[in-house]
Structure 1
Amino acid sequence: MTPVRRAVPVLAAALAGLLLFAAGPAGAAGYRYWSFWERAGGHWTYATQGPATVRPDDGAVQGFRFAVSADSADASRPRGAADFGTVCAGTPAAPGTKRVALVLDFGTRADAPSGERPPGRRTACARVPRDATSADALAAVAKPLRYDTNALLCAIAGYPRTGCGEQVSAGGRSSGSAGAGGSGGGPSLGLPVGAGVVALLAGAAVWRARRRRDESA
């Protein structure tokens, strides 16, 4: 058997292992965390960047929702209607600043950590400098915020008191943080797993190409 053919089952096994890691332990329901959303055309869209890197324009509407979600496709959207004119009606424009309408949805009792009760949904209009990020706007109206060592947003307005992106079992119980030392980078696990799969397949393609050149030389 050629080296390339021998490599195929090895690559398949490694790929299967990566996909199994991504799926998580049997019975896992997802991760308990704050998701970040942007609103346009009357619809919420899961943000493709984190709040620390997004710099919204004046008049933007953004939302945060606390819930248990398996991934971005499964994530719960902020509830209720939201439009800039309503949220920021009492906040006049000012030179050198911008206004960002924020919807803060603390989720349901079913998604709350054990012993905690979610506050009611609320909106706020943040007036911040023109170069401010979404994280800056959030900090202006919803302190205290809590982040972990990996810059994952753990708490808004002090909720929840503990925990950060922990994995939750199908029964609704926390099954431990996904991050080292309890930091809980759970929702971001798909990124390194996906990158690993791409690197693995790319390496196989390069190996096959080199093998063909050596055999034809």
Structure 2
Amino acid sequence: MGLLLTLFAASPALAAGYRYWSFWDGAGGRWAYATQGPSTARPADGATLGFRFSVSKDAAAEAAQPRAAADFEAVCGGTAPAEGKKRVALVIDFGVPEDAPAGETPPQGTPRTACAQLAPAATAAEALAEVAKPLRYNGAALLCGISGYPKTGCGEPIEDAPKPPSPASASADADPESGSDSGPSAGLFLGIAAVLALGSAAVWQSRRRRR
């Protein structure tokens, strides 16, 4: 019975993801998850910033990157420098329809790029507001919407949907003792319980004969 309880405890639980706008730093031509929020990060002249809307399980490890290159020259190369201003390249990726909230679709023309010219002390949030209004934040200053997308929601948890069975496992699903992607099946647990019960009965019979 202890083995049975251990197997139940080891079964993986449904993981949760989050639907949100992630913020990226394009330093060195590669996207890296930003270590600060847009409202506190102050990009230097020549910086490239990325924003991506998606459903991701883990912020740093599994968040979806912007699908356009982190290329400052490609975005701001045609914008002449201005005295007393810094240039910041922005890549805004509204994501894929599968990650959109119910009843909404990503705006057309994604990813979008824009070159913001602003004061040297301006934040990433100010650079974004320069090119992609309206922005929407929640009470904790979490970025919830860019250019009005999405209209509602802000970093809400999303439970994983059950994975469809693969062709290779379709025949196994018909066997009550076969496993599945979500862990050991009920048939396997019952089989283990039966083996444990038979083992206990054999020990009891052996002790009875010795008496």
Answer whether TM exceeds 0.5 for this pair: yes
Shift of the alpha carbon at 1:171? 2.3
Question: What is the aligned partner in structure 2 of residue 90 from structure 1?
Answer: 78
Question: What is the aligned partner in structure 1 of residue 120 from structure 2?
Answer: 130
2:56 aligned partner, one-letter code: S
TM-score normalised by length of structure 1: 0.65
3-state secondary structure, aligned to 1:140: helix
3-state secondary structure, aligned to 1:110: helix
Q: Distance in 1 between matches of 2:146 and 2:16?
A: 23
Question: What is the aligned partner in structure 2 of residue 41 from structure 1?
Answer: 28
Question: What is the aligned partner in structure 2 of residue 150 from structure 1?
Answer: 140
Shift of the alpha carbon at 1:87? 0.3
1:100 and 2:78 equivalent? Answer: no
Structure 1 vs Structure 2 CA RMSD: 1.6
1:60 and 2:50 equivalent? Answer: no
Question: What is the aligned partner in structure 1 of residue 205 from structure 2?
Answer: none
Identify which of 9, 12, 17 aligns with 1:30.
17
TM-score normalised by length of structure 2: 0.67
Question: What is the aligned partner in structure 1 of residue 157 from structure 2?
Answer: 167
Question: What is the aligned partner in structure 2 of residue 69 from structure 1?
Answer: 56
3-state secondary structure, aligned to 2:134: coil
Identity of aligned residues (%): 65
Shift of the alpha carbon at 1:39? 0.9
Q: Structure 2 regions of 5+ residues with no counterpart?
A: 1-12, 163-211
Larger radius of gyration: 2
Shift of the alpha carbon at 1:140? 0.3
Q: Distance in 2 between matches of 1:91 and 1:61?
A: 14
Question: What is the aligned partner in structure 1 of residue 197 from structure 2?
Answer: none
3-state secondary structure, aligned to 1:87: helix
Shift of the alpha carbon at 1:90? 2.5
Deviations 1:4-45 (CA, angstroms, capped at 9, x unpaired): xxxxxxxxxxxxxxxxxxxxxx42431100000001222110
1:110 and 2:89 equivalent? Answer: no
Does the CA contact (< 8 Å) of 2:30 and 2:70 recur in 1?
Answer: no
Q: Distance in 1 between matches of 2:124 and 2:54?
A: 20
